[in-house]
Structure 1
Amino acid sequence: MKKLTINTLALAFTLAFSAGAMAEGMSKTEYKAGKSKIFADFKTARASCDSLSGNASDICAAEAKGNEKVALAELQARYKPSEKAHYEARLAKADAVYDVAKEKCDDQAGNGKDVCLKEAKAAETAAKADAKAQMKTAEANATAGEKTAEARSDASKKGVAARQDATADKTDAQYAVAKEKCDTYAGAAKDSCLAKAKLNFNK
């Protein structure tokens, strides 16, 4: 894997599905047909991995499985739309991207691989934290939608708290990446690196 960064992975997470697709509904017949197509696509994709070898085959298999998992979650969210279903679809995307990223990290060795894995985990943590914050904010807003101004103010506070929790989770994950990068040093240089990481992330 050439270069795995938190930003590029985080961007991948945002491409899970459009808001328009999430809002759609579908019949049971359409849902069943959708599932059949997803399973067929998975078999085709998985079969194509057989021509590969080594880690390339593992990456291919992870991508095929991840695409199937995401497609099924998104299908469910369209069939029975709800904040929870949309949340589950976002989690599926986070898990899928993380699983592929982990396999790609196997192309590296030593500290480079360790950093790669930490960055992949940080991106997954960020995506899941954002998904949770979005769900909590949406639920709070929906609950307060037809209530008093006081209730709407409380919902706003809950949304802010959810976003703050997400930020804290992402900061912890990024700090873990920074610490892992310090392992390339030794002695005073490593101590300095760790001290800088602590300062940057207020630890």
Structure 2
Amino acid sequence: MRTTHASLLIGAVLAWSGAAQAQVAPDSKAVYKQARATAEANFKGARARCDLIAGNPHDLCMAEANAERVRVDEEARAAHKNTLSAYTKARMRIASANFKRDKVRCAAVTGNDRDVCLEQAKATLVAAQADAKADRKSIEARLDAREDKLAAEYRVALEKCDAYAGAVKDQCVSSAKTAFRK
């Protein structure tokens, strides 16, 4: 589960590391649809394997298959939309699917062990959701800081241009605007 969170976080950081948001590739919709189709096909195969099992192991098998389908589907959707919000929502939905899987896993035990299992599942859900929210805030703060730094550097560049006059000053201002994408 941590690997999934790490990969989503890395993807979000890479998506937002440029000065401007990366444009969606023209074939990203086809890649997204292919990933969803693959996830659905894998789910159907897993469901067929699960149908050979009875009782709680069947329920657990189905919950694991569903959690995997949700993970693949949400990662594909987030990559397709390529926004910080989409990555955060994907992590939340994946955490929820994993929680449902863990609740089914807890149904196999009884008594205090079940209570402990359910509390652990809930704690894992809360931790995953908190991590997703914290990562989003952290990335947003880094982006804001980067924008503030660029704005300050742009003002410095314009101030340096004030030392010139005429066409040289216009050239300097134009260069600064180009360099800072203003």
Fold match, TM over 0.5? Answer: yes
Aligned pairs for 1:185-200 within 5 A: none
> What does residue 60 of structure 2 align with?
59
2:179 counterpart residue number: none
Mark the runs of 5 or more structure 1 residues left unpaired by the alignment: 1-11, 152-203
**Alignment-derived partner of residue 106 in structure 1:** 107
Cα distance, 1:20 vs. partner? Answer: 5.5
Q: Are 1:15 and 2:16 matched, yes or no?
A: no
- 1:1-203 alignment runs, 5 A limit: 12=1, 14-16=2-4, 18=7, 23=14, 27=27, 28-147=29-148
Which digits, 9 at most, give the CA deviation of each residue in 1:116-160, with x for residues without a partner?
Answer: 1011101110111011011111112212321159x9xxxxxxxxx
Letter in 2 for 1:15: T
Q: What is the root-mean-square deviation in Å for CA atoms of aligned residues?
A: 2.2
Structure 1: which 4+ aligned runs deviate by more than 6 Å? none
TM-score of the two chains, using structure 2 as the length reference: 0.68
* Greater C-alpha radius of gyration: 2
> What SS class does the counterpart of residue 51 from structure 1 fall into?
coil
User: CA-to-partner distance for each residue in 1:67-91, whole Å, 9 max, x for gaps?
Assistant: 1111111001111211111111211
Aligned residues: 138
Give, in whole Å, the separation in 2 of the partners of 1:97 and 1:30. 25
CA distance in 1, matches of 2:113, 2:147: 53
* TM-score of the superposed pair, with normalisation by structure 1: 0.62
Consecutive unaligned residues of structure 2, counting only runs of 5 or more, are 16-23, 153-182
